[in-house]
Amino acid sequence: MRLSGPQVWISVGVATLVLSLWEAGCSGLSAEAGPPPRPPGAPRGPGSAHHRQKRSWVWNQFFVLEEYTGDDPLYVGKLHSDVDKGEGRVKYVLSGEGASSIFIIDENTGDIHATKRLDREEQAYYTLRAQAVDRASNRPVEPESEFIIKVQDINDNEPKFLDGPYTAGVPEMSPVGTSVVQVAATDADDPTYGNSARVVYSILEGQPYFSVEPKTGIIRTALPNMDREARDQYLLVIMAKDMVGQMGGLSGTTSVTVTLTDVNDNPPRFSRKSYQFTVPESLPVASVVAKIKAADPDVGPNAEMEYRIIDGDGLGLFRVTPDKDTQEGVITLQKGLDYETKATYTLRIEATNRNIDPRFLSLGPFSDTATVRVTVEDVDEPPVFSSPLSRMVVSEAAKVGTIIGTVSAHDPDTSNSAIRYSIDRNTDLERFFNIDAMTGIISTAKQLDREANAVHNITILAMESQDPSQVGKGIAIITVMDINDNAPVFAIEYETFLCESASPGQVIQTISAVDKDEPPSGHRFFFALTAEAAGNLNFTLRDNKDNTASILTKRGGFRRREQSLYRLPILIVDSGTPSLSSTNTLSIRVCDCDSDGVAQSCSAEAYTLPAGLSTGALIAILACVLTLLVLVLLIVTMRRRKKEPLILDEERDVRENIVRYDDEGGGEEDTEAFDMVALRNLNVIRDHKARRDVTPEVPTLFSSRPPPYKSVPDNGIFREFIWDRLKDADVDPSAPPYDSLQTYAFEGSGSVAESLSSLESLSTDSDQNYDYLSDWGPRFKKLADLYGQNEASSIFS
């Protein structure tokens, strides 16, 4: 089988190879052996010298140009078998990649054509198989042979920047030739065939600041001393062209944004050499006095500042620190200002870059100085205590009015106003102390009790007489010294058990004592039996000399049946001056104990009660109790249902008892309408007249019903009201600092006349006597007739 194709006419070299193979195939190759194996994509080149088994196929690779645009199918080549004598008995069959869809073969002549336009970048070669078969029997006349159709490249793809567009940065002031970034373009054409994929680079925009290397695509700086503060960004356009940049080559472009990064090439500079600020003398410590800033065109760490005071008369009074966000120098106050002491201060402040680049030291010193003048304004200041904290001591035995100590304050202003003192009653709610408004002398106002409050922390207010709004505050800590005013008592509530088997001299309880007082040398207690108990035959006491005492038995043979409880009075005396004592009773209960001395039963009734009740008996007792309770509740309920009202019938409408009056009073001038004395003095002694609508009550010794009339209210309620108002006035910051008259209106908690309402007067449970209505004058006559004794008698007669 022989092969021929258009390669013969393409070039002399290709034609020579094809002809050589053709001649080699015509020298009687064997038709039985197929082609030797070879890797796909690497076909054996035409004209290569090798030995193989004899076959009747002559095969090679075909070449076909990509992107063919003709109307007719593109002729690829021709297959021919030696068996084919031109009689039409042999049929050629093509199979493999693209067979029938892209490549077709004339089954009579063996001519191969491409029916579609090919693209080498999509597929560079196709592997096909050819076979000659007998047309009649469809049997192969020769073994199947494989060949390749390779797509030949043309320059049909422009270079592309797959990573573009690019962004890059380069420090400002960089020298010429500093590398910025490297760009790379790829060409999809065959790099092994011609110059279709050989790319060169050039710069279209960005000159004269930058340049690009034609072969590598490295972009470099082309000018020295490029200043970021003048221009910080550049846009470059880079072109890549194939065919080594020759005419007819294809090209592609990309953009490169180059940003100049900052370096510290600018020293800081104050906008002015002198600043002046004014602050009040009342400015609190740690407050901001002023802010100054040294300008620096640099950014980021290159613009960070450090400020310091290098000279002036306020070195210890002021401090300057940088603000990390704004890079300002913040001047703060370290100590209090006083206009009367010094009114002006002068500071010399230096600003320095924190990060200095030694490459640019030649540009000048990276620091600057400025003068700051601070003027203090005079303000009306509150009084100042000579000692903000005063400590005083007073004995809890001090009488009311005892002088404890003195506080002193003065007006720091030049006016030197007089001072008035007072106590902040929020810190002395119980008003234990008083202070002289003019002298500041503190004295006791109540009896003190160290055990209730050992230390009093009160706030003293000092205000100017000319301007009461100016108030200074001081603290007075008053410690109450202890005196021996509390007698010792038992430390706990003792529960003492005595076994019936106790022997004489046995310790049955150890007691101790406590005392609310706190003597400097500590407590020392003495224990003894009282005089009436000292001669008892049952128990004795032994003082252990360590603030404890032991209770011992004098005898044995205690029996619960004879006496189950003993009470032993014990005298406890402290060591104070004068000494105090108290008598405490120790209860001793006789118990039945086990062999270890543990109390088992201490009840005297245990011997008289039965041994015990069974569970059934207890349940029966509980059932009886519950039954009795249910019967009592039923009886009470029935009796309440049968009770009828004494005045109204169930069928009568309540509205029939409403009485309408058309009389009008004479106003405040009608003083004769009723007796004002009778109305005001309701607590006169009246005879208690029995009513017929209720059962009269017999006074008994244990009667708890209150008298029919309320007694005159005690004046204590008014004293309490005035006391509360006085406290409120003392702690009121808006109250005047001098003595003033406070006026209040207070009616008390209720009226002694009680309610005049008649809504509850018809209740059967009421025991109110309305006879006093007849004493109120003609205006209450109708009410007296309705609810008085006579009317009640007529209703129930």
Q: What mean pLDDT comes out for the span 664-685?
A: 49
* Tokens, residue 744: 């209040």
| 13-22, 472-481, 675-684, 741-750: range with lowest mean pLDDT | 13-22
Q: What is the model's pLDDT at position 788?
A: 62
pLDDT in tens, 465-520: 888 888 999 999 999 998 888 899 999 999 899 998 899 999 999 999 999 888 87
* Tokens, residue 265: 């090439």
Asked if 497 and 506 count as a contact pair (C-beta separation under 8 A), the reply is: no
166-171 vs 251-261, strand pairing mode: parallel
* Residue 606 pLDDT grade (very low, low, confident, very high; cuts 50, 70, 90): very low
Whether 228 shows a pLDDT value over 70: the answer reads yes
Containing H/E element for 169? Answer: strand 166-171
pTM of the model: 0.44
Q: DSSP string of 739-795?
A: ----------SS-TT-----TTTT-TT-----GGGGGG-GGGHHHHHHHSHHHHHHH
* Residue 197 pLDDT grade (very low, low, confident, very high; cuts 50, 70, 90): confident
- C-alpha–C-alpha distance, residues 286 and 315, integer Å: 15
Peptide bond into 713 cis (omega under 30): no
For residues 290 and 607, the model is more confident at 290
Whether 49 shows a pLDDT value over 70: the answer reads no
Sorted by sequence, the CB contacts under 8 Å of residue 666 that are 6+ apart come out as 673
**Residue 37, phi-psi category: left (phi > 0), alpha (psi -120 to 50), beta (remainder):** beta
- C-alpha–C-alpha distance, residues 59 and 392, integer Å: 125
Q: In one letter, which amino acid is 674?
A: F
Strands of 192-267 (E only): list them. 200-205, 210-212, 218-221, 233-241, 251-261
Altogether, the residues listed in the chain come to a count of: 797
Q: What is the model's pLDDT at position 223?
A: 93
Between the alpha carbon of residue 503 and those of residues 101, 265, 555, 557, 559, the distances in Å are 129, 106, 7, 8, 13
* Residue 679 pLDDT grade (very low, low, confident, very high; cuts 50, 70, 90): very low
DSSP 28: T
Q: How far is CA 665 from the centre of its chain?
A: 69
* Residue 536 pLDDT grade (very low, low, confident, very high; cuts 50, 70, 90): very high
Cα Rg, the chain, nearest whole Å: 62
For residues 35 and 652, the model is more confident at 652
Q: What is the model's pLDDT at position 663?
A: 58
Q: What is the model's pLDDT at position 709?
A: 42
In 3D, which of 235, 91, 227, 254 has the Cα closest to residue 158? 254
| 64-68, 445-449, 542-546: range with lowest mean pLDDT | 64-68
Whether 419 shows a pLDDT value over 80: the answer reads yes
Whether 629 shows a pLDDT value over 50: the answer reads yes
Asked if 2 and 58 count as a contact pair (C-beta separation under 8 A), the reply is: yes
